[in-house]
Amino acid sequence: MAEPARKPLLAANWKMHKTVAEAQSFLADLLPRVAAVEAAEIAICPAYPALAAVVEHCASSRVRVCAQNMHEAADGAFTGEVSAPMLVELGVDGVILGHSERRQYFGETDAALARKLPAAFAAGLAPILCVGESEAQRDAGETERVLREQLTAGLATLENGRLGELAIAYEPIWAIGTGRTATPEQAQDACAFVRAVVGRRDDAAGNRVRVLYGGSVKPENAGELLDLPDVDGALVGGASLDPEAFASIVAAAA
Ligand code: PGA
């Protein structure tokens, strides 16, 4: 039987950019550009304050909306945090978890991610789990060890039935926001490795899981990266802030 095709996912990680007004003006420009796209899934990931406005603006389109983080508890004494049910109430579809900036600057751990992933699914959010090695780790030949450890620990509590529904973004830290993109060979090898780690736990999930590449994806390199057999989309930072650039990355996938 033929394997079901994995629909490419292009996610715009806006990080701490765009006010509500800036988000509205971006969407007014982007949505007509991507209105005819059916072959790829598009997700916008704004900062919390713009989520509700982006959900409302995208409601009549196929564009989905993701948050950039969440707490694992449904509620509680966690000042400054946001829970999955709060995001679901706003109409948010998914959530980025474990972005390297969260790991690096805000102490995000694999153990916390192992609690967040099931909580996201339980609330009805589709998670995008981020993994990736630092430059020093790559230079030391530790890329596969790092990816295996992040995936093994982060996915430890997730039931096999959910594994295939996950999107996993492979983002080499040295390529994020640096203008240095992984070569197609590096991206393919790492994304295939991520898939293989999932596949070792559950063969069917390995075939179904969407593995995205992230790290300085731009209109100029999107085509060659998105053509790779184990790359099922992209998590785009800087280039996703510009509607024309992001639409052209979407077009490369579709
Ligand atoms: P970048 O960011 O495209 O600006 O490198 C990617 C990311 O951090 O998700």
Contacts for 200 with CB less than 8 Å, ≥ 6 apart: 206
Domains and CATH numbers, the chain: 9-253 (3.20.20.70)
3-state SS, residue 58? helix
Does the C-beta of 98 come closer than 6 Å to ligand 1?
Answer: no
Ligand 1 atom closest to the CA of 217, numbered from 1:
3
Gap between the terminal Cα atoms of the chain: 24
Q: What is the per-residue pLDDT across 46-70, written as a single tens digit (0 to 9) for each?
A: 999 999 999 999 999 999 999 999 9
- 102: its two tokens: 């969260």
Does the C-beta of 240 come closer than 6 Å to ligand 1?
Answer: no
Is residue 3 annotated as part of the catalytic site, yes or no? no
Q: What is the band of 1 on the pLDDT scale with cuts at 50, 70, 90? A: very low
> Can you give the pTM of this predicted structure?
0.97
Is residue 159 annotated as part of the catalytic site, yes or no? no
Q: What is the per-residue pLDDT across 150-165, written as a single tens digit (0 to 9) for each?
A: 999 999 999 999 999 9
